[in-house]
Structure 1
Amino acid sequence: MACRIISTGEMVAGAKRWYNIERSKERGILMQQTRLPLPVGTTDFKRICRENYYVDKTLLIKDLLDEKVSNILFTRPRRFGKTLNMDMLRTFFEKTDVDTSSYFKDKAIWQQGESYRQQQGQYPVIFLSLKDIKAQDWETAYELLKMIISSEYARHPELQAGNEISQQDKDFYEKIVNKNANKADYMLSLQILSRMLYQYYKKAPVIIIDEYDTPIQEGFVNNYYNEAIRFIRNFFSAALKDNPYITMSIMTGILRVAKESIFSGLNNIRVDSVLDDTFSAYFGFTEGEVKIITQYYNVTEKLAEIKSWYDGYRFGSTEIYNPWSVINYISSSCKAIPYWSQTSENTIIHEILKKYNEATYRNLHELLKENGQVSSVIKTNIIYPELKGPQTDILGFLLMTGYLKATEMILNEDGEHLCRLNIPNKEIRTIYRKEIISLLIAEVGDMTVTDLRDALLNKDSAVIKETLGRFMMQTISYYDGLRESYYHGLMLGLITIFEYTHFIRSNRESGTGRYDIQLIPKNAGMPGIIIEIKAGEAKDDDCALSKLAQVAFDQIEEKKYDTELRSLGVSVIHKYGIAFANKRVELKTN
């Protein structure tokens, strides 16, 4: 078998698995012609083992068996290896006419003893992937669900001929395969298939459901959430609640949908999230795995760049790299760009960032700072309709979906997680900025954003004031007493368009104080920009607001905020004191 597998017989990063890479005599550097390609875009376990480099995650099997799992849900961000792991589990457990043990004899699980080897190829398996249930309306989504269920039934033609199966069940089988069943039949179809497989094989099947929450997420975005929840809840509950005909069920998804929404009937389901330890090393690459990958491809000098761009996640207590991005980075001649952002439209993130309230922008303001972080109590379950409400748990959602990292975590007496959060790496920081730019353009138009950029570069005070005023009128609700941090967050959002020409800095020391925002030009000849922000009160008239803008400008001069720019050789520096009061704005410049 051609597959290359990580293993050196050592324990790495506390993960309970072995690394198994065949090193050459010259310190692990292999000749280019012997290197296998990384698996870009494929999640077929057997194919990867035959044709590609494989990072061995088979000790997931051992831990599942050791933990005596009945029903488990793994929640991880997209593109962190969930589907590949589920296909690996299917290949290991499923009883087939073809001997599949050859795919595991050179893997870590095979070295764990006879008791584990005896589990290979012993179970009927029901495998459903809901990752492609993406539709604009419920009718189309339901048709796609029917097709997936029908295809899984058709994968077990032995049930049609088996004497162990009653004629009534055979008739039901025919209805599902031919897509002639009614909605109630489909809701019960998973339960009935498990019973038929048990009757035929005299062994309870393993149920694997990949990306269970895709139809729910699509329903939320496209306004058929209630229909999707109703079907999925009945579909899962019938099959997984107190079902004597299954050995175990394993599900994956991005989020844990709140129990009252979908898992109300499943009291025995175990949820393993990004905050948990037991299975933390099996989704994504650990630091040890990335080091061995770079040795195999002879790019160890790129480790620091890989770390700054694609590391920074923390699942439980394990440091994790984004596997999709690492694979694409190495496969693309080590070009450091945000690969992860190219895998979806980030629709829900866009919905969340549309909430122009003070808490949202205060948190974004803190997170987008250099080494910025915030603290919050995190809920591990999500109620999708609340994402559109005023009390959205935005930080919890961003953590679970991979846009934030928990650096510290305390479990309080109420069973809630108090977490310190930050942006994991350069890739995600870039995504935030692009999402904010996209959002602002969608909300106020491309002209507003580009007008502001050009006016700041050209020191056109009239256009800056007019553009900011137009933006405030279009987007800001009328609240009394909005704080400075709110307007600071708004400005950070608006100036993200500068990321291609300037380094954006916020709340950094320069001179004898800390400026609000500084833009350092990447190319000689472009101006540097310093912005100091003040928040007035609703009662302030234009004269009072103008005086406050002057105070902001004077602060730039008095505290010598231009010291850092001048030390970098920037000769042209535009300085702006800006004062906001609800929807009004005044500014002073040099």
Structure 2
Amino acid sequence: MARKAGIGHQNFETIRMRDIFYVDKTDFIREWWEAEDPVTLIARPRRFGKTLNMSMTEQFFSVEYAGRADLFEGLSIWESRKFRELQGTFPVIFLSFADVKETDFEQMKKKLCRIIKGIYNQYDFLLEDHVLNENEKRDFQNISVNMENNEISYSLKALTNYLFRYYGKKVIILLDEYDTPMQEAYVGGYWDEMVELIRGLLNSTFKTNPYLERAIMTGITRVSKESVFSDLNNLKVVTTTSKEYADSFGFTEKEVFAALEEFGLSEQKQKVKKWYDGFTFGEKTDIYNPWSIINYLDNRQVGAYWANTSSNSLIGKLIQEGSRNVKQDFEELMQGNILKVEMDEQIVYHQLKVKKNSLWSLLLASGYLKAAGIELDESAGRWYYSLMLTNKEVQIMFEQMIRNWFGEYEEEYNDFVKALLKDDLKAMNYYMNKVALATFSYFDTGKNPSGEEPERFYHGFVLGLMVELNERYVLTSNRESGFGRYDVMLEPKKSGDYGIILEFKVQNSEEKSLSDAVEEALRQIERQNYEASLTARGIPKENIRKYGFAFCGKKVLIGGRQT
């Protein structure tokens, strides 16, 4: 009989005691312990079992769970006598920043203080013992939501000191989702204050702490060393491309197929693979997202489960407001192509809007992209990553994100697409102007409003065309550098449909009117013989339509002709 496919369980004890579906990841404990790294940072996408693995690790080592063989019997870690003897032998501090999502610094600081206060409350028995002197007892009782930065910084180190003296053993610290406050601080506009606070806390807790046995931090990203880890020289960093712990987070294909058999879904293996396979960690390919798989086992139908667990607002905003180069590269990814970029896996948040490769680093760390290959240019000391969209679920998420760019005006946008397919120039002009007027500014950050603004819009517009017409057309683009030069070709997937060429042009000082700019765009299509690539694919000349789009501010004029 199949186990229960419990959704959202993150407590190891609950899963084991209630016979909820669980894939044995206890070998992570062995790999981590034998690595002997003092402080380990593991970056994995959201919903990949980070919190569950931290709960598992806590309950394996913590003295609070001494003698709990029932939690681990039958699992791989329990096969080793050495590790059976380690179970329940260390004081463990386990804390999570997953819910630290306040919109301003003062509230964020209070939330962190409450978390630390909650940890102290677990050990208030220390106040009744003779371990602490009177000054230390006062310090213990002064832990509150109103602590100053220096008190926050020293708080966890002080607690490890107390626990070390009480138990006679150094302390293991597990910090889950360490980077959530950092991302919220970036979005909320209080990055510098947050960095100062977190840097002091991490440095005091993990570097200059003689009472620390070992520590693990988990998160989605590797925040740049310069931001928060500048003082931590004992940190082992494990990213999605590292070989360590490659199959400890996420399900392998063998584990997924075994689960499908357990739930009587063996015949669905290829469908599940098409939707959810594609994650790569280190040298391990064919990794699946646990959240999607467990939801599939529960609902017995495919869907965008993982992609829909977060608003992805930061990702969407960065792409929407990104430069034309960002959108052009994103077109390649949406077409299923490989994007090769020079990249550093450290996330430098303040560069996300100005350095496009920082965006690709964030997308890779978040699981939306996978590294199909990594190469080192030894002469220059630069790393080049070959990136692809991870799987069908991610593709669908991005398609919906692009649709949402025009969400409030989706009806007008769809009417434009219908008019385009019908060759209705009057309707095309009407609806295109409504869409441009309403959404033009959405594609610009407001900080660089001049030269790139039109290009940001129509590159976003082209991504929208790609999504709406992908069932009927293959959209390709042929770009040259320079302002105002961009053409798009829509190659029909079935015979009888028209091929379509679009040329975009921004009205310049030599053109007296938008109609002049339209005519120049159409002449350019003729001069450059753009139709040749379509006729070479067997599309008759009489089945090729050509359109010139001219922009002046938020005004658009479209003209067309047929071969």
TM-score (norm 1): 0.82
Selected match of 1:94 from 53, 62, 81? 62
Q: Deviations over 1:380-399 (max 9, x none)?
A: 11121222335562211111
SS at match of 2:107: helix
Shift of the 366–66 alpha-carbon distance from structure 1 to 2, 3 Å rule, reads same
Selected match of 1:215 from 168, 181, 195? 181
Selected match of 1:63 from 21, 26, 31? 31
Q: Does 1:588 align with 2:547?
A: no
Q: Does 1:230 align with 2:196?
A: yes
- State, as a whole percentage, how many aligned pairs show the same letter: 28
Whole-Å separation in 1 of the counterparts to 2:396 and 2:248: 26
Shift of the 142–328 alpha-carbon distance from structure 1 to 2, 3 Å rule, reads same
Aligned to 1:10: none
Question: Cα offset for 1:37?
Answer: 1.4
Aligned to 2:155: 189
Whole-Å separation in 2 of the counterparts to 1:389 and 1:461: 38
Selected match of 2:416 from 438, 446, 452? 452
Q: Deviations over 1:349-369 (max 9, x none)?
A: 022113241211110111111
Whole-Å separation in 2 of the counterparts to 1:452 and 1:123: 65
The answer to whether the 8 Å contact 2:326/2:356 transfers is: no
Q: Deviations over 1:320-353 (max 9, x none)?
A: 11111111122111x2221112211112102211
Whole-Å separation in 2 of the counterparts to 1:582 and 1:305: 48
The one-letter amino acid of 1:127's match is: F
Whole-Å separation in 1 of the counterparts to 2:92 and 2:140: 16
Whole-Å separation in 2 of the counterparts to 1:315 and 1:540: 54
Aligned to 2:464: 494
Aligned to 1:342: 308
The one-letter amino acid of 1:260's match is: E
The answer to whether the 8 Å contact 1:550/1:587 transfers is: no
Selected match of 1:262 from 204, 228, 235? 228
Question: Cα offset for 1:451?
Answer: 4.0
Whole-Å separation in 2 of the counterparts to 1:558 and 1:158: 78
SS at match of 1:417: strand
Shift of the 451–77 alpha-carbon distance from structure 1 to 2, 3 Å rule, reads same
SS at match of 1:379: coil
Whole-Å separation in 2 of the counterparts to 1:67 and 1:254: 22
The answer to whether the 8 Å contact 1:506/1:518 transfers is: yes
Aligned to 1:13: none
**Aligned residue-pair number:** 533
Aligned to 2:427: 463
Q: Does 1:400 align with 2:365?
A: yes
Q: How does 1:534-545 map to 2 (within 5 A)?
A: 534-535=503-504, 538=508, 541=511, 542-543=515-516, 545=518
The one-letter amino acid of 2:250's match is: G
SS at match of 2:142: helix
Shift of the 98–529 alpha-carbon distance from structure 1 to 2, 3 Å rule, reads farther
SS at match of 2:247: helix
Whole-Å separation in 1 of the counterparts to 2:269 and 2:115: 41
Aligned to 2:50: 82
Question: Cα offset for 1:192?
Answer: 0.5
Question: Cα offset for 1:57?
Answer: 0.7
Question: Cα offset for 1:496?
Answer: 5.5
Q: Does 1:381 align with 2:353?
A: no
Shift of the 431–357 alpha-carbon distance from structure 1 to 2, 3 Å rule, reads same
Question: Cα offset for 1:506?
Answer: 2.5
The answer to whether the 8 Å contact 1:518/1:530 transfers is: yes
Q: Deviations over 1:12-34 (max 9, x none)?
A: xxxxxxxxxxxxxxxxxxxxxx2
Q: Does 1:329 align with 2:296?
A: yes
Aligned to 2:483: none
Question: Cα offset for 1:423?
Answer: 0.6
Whole-Å separation in 2 of the counterparts to 1:169 and 1:416: 50
The answer to whether the 8 Å contact 2:110/2:145 transfers is: no
Shift of the 118–551 alpha-carbon distance from structure 1 to 2, 3 Å rule, reads same
Selected match of 1:306 from 268, 272, 275? 272
Shift of the 415–47 alpha-carbon distance from structure 1 to 2, 3 Å rule, reads farther
Whole-Å separation in 2 of the counterparts to 1:562 and 1:455: 25
Selected match of 2:332 from 366, 382, 407? 366
Whole-Å separation in 2 of the counterparts to 1:468 and 1:245: 65
Whole-Å separation in 2 of the counterparts to 1:415 and 1:123: 42
Shift of the 227–105 alpha-carbon distance from structure 1 to 2, 3 Å rule, reads same
Question: Cα offset for 1:104?
Answer: 1.2
Aligned residues: CA RMSD:
3.2
Q: Deviations over 1:474-519 (max 9, x none)?
A: 4576549999xx89843432225627x94553339xxxxx983357
Q: How does 1:220-299 map to 2 (within 5 A)?
A: 220-299=186-265
SS at match of 1:359: helix
Question: Cα offset for 1:208?
Answer: 0.2
Shift of the 563–490 alpha-carbon distance from structure 1 to 2, 3 Å rule, reads farther
Whole-Å separation in 1 of the counterparts to 2:452 and 2:142: 62
Question: Cα offset for 1:122?
Answer: 0.7
Q: Deviations over 1:103-145 (max 9, x none)?
A: 112111112x222222211110011100001112222222211
Shift of the 487–588 alpha-carbon distance from structure 1 to 2, 3 Å rule, reads farther
Shift of the 459–557 alpha-carbon distance from structure 1 to 2, 3 Å rule, reads farther
Whole-Å separation in 2 of the counterparts to 1:239 and 1:562: 64
Q: Does 1:114 align with 2:81?
A: yes
Q: Deviations over 1:81-115 (max 9, x none)?
A: 1111111111111111652222112111112x222
Whole-Å separation in 2 of the counterparts to 1:97 and 1:290: 30
Selected match of 1:104 from 72, 93, 105? 72
The answer to whether the 8 Å contact 1:76/1:401 transfers is: yes
The answer to whether the 8 Å contact 2:23/2:255 transfers is: yes
Whole-Å separation in 2 of the counterparts to 1:361 and 1:250: 37
Question: Cα offset for 1:220?
Answer: 1.1
The one-letter amino acid of 1:279's match is: Y
TM-score (norm 2): 0.86
The one-letter amino acid of 2:71's match is: Y
Selected match of 1:426 from 389, 392, 395? 392
The answer to whether the 8 Å contact 2:113/2:146 transfers is: no
Mind listing any 5+ residue stretches in structure 1 that lack a counterpart?
A: 1-33, 509-513, 522-526, 566-572
Whole-Å separation in 1 of the counterparts to 2:213 and 2:416: 61
Whole-Å separation in 2 of the counterparts to 1:100 and 1:416: 49
Aligned to 2:401: 435
The answer to whether the 8 Å contact 1:83/1:210 transfers is: yes
The answer to whether the 8 Å contact 2:240/2:280 transfers is: yes
Whole-Å separation in 1 of the counterparts to 2:453 and 2:202: 48
The answer to whether the 8 Å contact 2:376/2:383 transfers is: yes
Aligned to 2:98: 131
The answer to whether the 8 Å contact 1:487/1:580 transfers is: no
SS at match of 1:282: coil
Selected match of 2:5 from 38, 58, 61? 38
SS at match of 2:64: coil
Whole-Å separation in 2 of the counterparts to 1:361 and 1:585: 23
Question: Cα offset for 1:157?
Answer: 2.8
